[in-house]
Amino acid sequence: MFNGFGSLLQGDYLHAFLGGAGVTLQLFFISAVLAFVLACLLMGIRLIPGRIGDFVVAVFVEYHRNVPSLVQLFVWYFGIPQLLPMAAQDWINGHGGEVIFAIIALTLNSAAYVSEDLRSGFRSLPNGQTEAARALGINYVQTLRKILIPQAMRASAPSLVNQALSLFKTTALAMAIGTAEMMYITRQIEGETYMTFQTFAVASLFYLIGSWSIMILGAVWQRRIDLRMAR
């Protein structure tokens, strides 16, 4: 059962595994950054008084939280291109459309969750802090940057780390639209070698190492936030 690991971890197979790992990390990091930026925007819209903006964001969040991630990937990869001109479809297909649409779907899905985590962090803060800052002559931007955001990030940090873990593992769904990430490469190698246990063991080890790394970095980040707040 344990025979064959040596042949998988050298030559073309090793190169293929490393390439798949690189694509997975690319999907994760790009989607994570874009999702956080979009989540901050969505949260800001929901914090601003106004029913229209809050309703639009609420619909966005409910869709991405209640529709399976795989369906969202299919909508973007198979459905959205049908609405585009042929020239746009040809350009996308010629420039890694599966990667582009995977990043879009993963970003939007993650942003919906992250925006709610951030909003929960803000809602956990005492209401009187903004008024107290205003009474001290601190403007709203400074209040956000120096008082509210650090506390909200501290409150939502555990949820954000969990969401990062979820996003990292969800990248495996991109194989369904032909993205050459880790699981796609694993299936390809398994089909060529028939070493089912060995190939999926290699993939499992990669995801374990990635998840542990995220948890360790998340713990370090939370500790730094706590130290900064203690000053």
Q: For residue 195, is it left (φ>0), alpha (ψ between -120 and 50) or beta?
A: beta
Instruction: Provide the CATH number for the domain around residue 185.
Output: 1.10.3720.10
Average pLDDT (174-195) is 94
Count of CB atoms within 10 A of residue 177's CB?
19
| Residue-level pLDDT at 153 | 84
> Phi and psi at residue 56, in whole multiples of 5°?
-60, -45
Contact 130, 146 (CB under 8 A): no
- With CA atoms as reference, report the closest residue to 182 among 46, 9, 33, 18: 18
Instruction: Tell me which residue has tokens 């050298």.
Output: 10
Q: What is the pLDDT of residues 63-112, one digit of tens each?
A: 999 999 999 999 999 999 999 899 988 898 888 899 999 999 999 999 99
**CA–CA distances in Å: residue 109 to residues 28, 60, 143, 170:** 12, 9, 30, 10
User: How far, in Å, CA of 143 to CA of 130, rounded?
Assistant: 7
- Domain ranges, residue 215: 5-230
**pLDDT band, residue 231 (cuts 50/70/90):** low
Kindly provide the b/e burial profile for residues 78-110, where b requires at least 16 CB atoms within 10 angstroms of the residue's own CB: eeeeeeeeeeeeeebeeeebbbebbbbbbbbbb
Confirm whether pTM is higher than 0.75. yes
User: How far, in Å, CA of 227 to CA of 229, rounded?
Assistant: 5
Q: Which of helix, strand or coil describes residue 49?
A: coil
What does DSSP assign to residue 231?
Answer: -
Contact 123, 188 (CB under 8 A): no
Specify the range with the lowest mean pLDDT, choosing from 51-65, 101-115, 149-163. Answer: 149-163
Which comes out higher in pLDDT, residue 59 or 130? 59
User: How far, in Å, CA of 138 to CA of 151, rounded?
Assistant: 17
* Number of structural domains found in the chain: 1
Kindly provide the b/e burial profile for residues 147-159, where b requires at least 16 CB atoms within 10 angstroms of the residue's own CB: bbeebbbbbbbeb
**pLDDT band, residue 174 (cuts 50/70/90):** very high
User: How far, in Å, CA of 220 to CA of 227, rounded?
Assistant: 11
Sign of CA dihedral 101, 25, 71, 52: negative
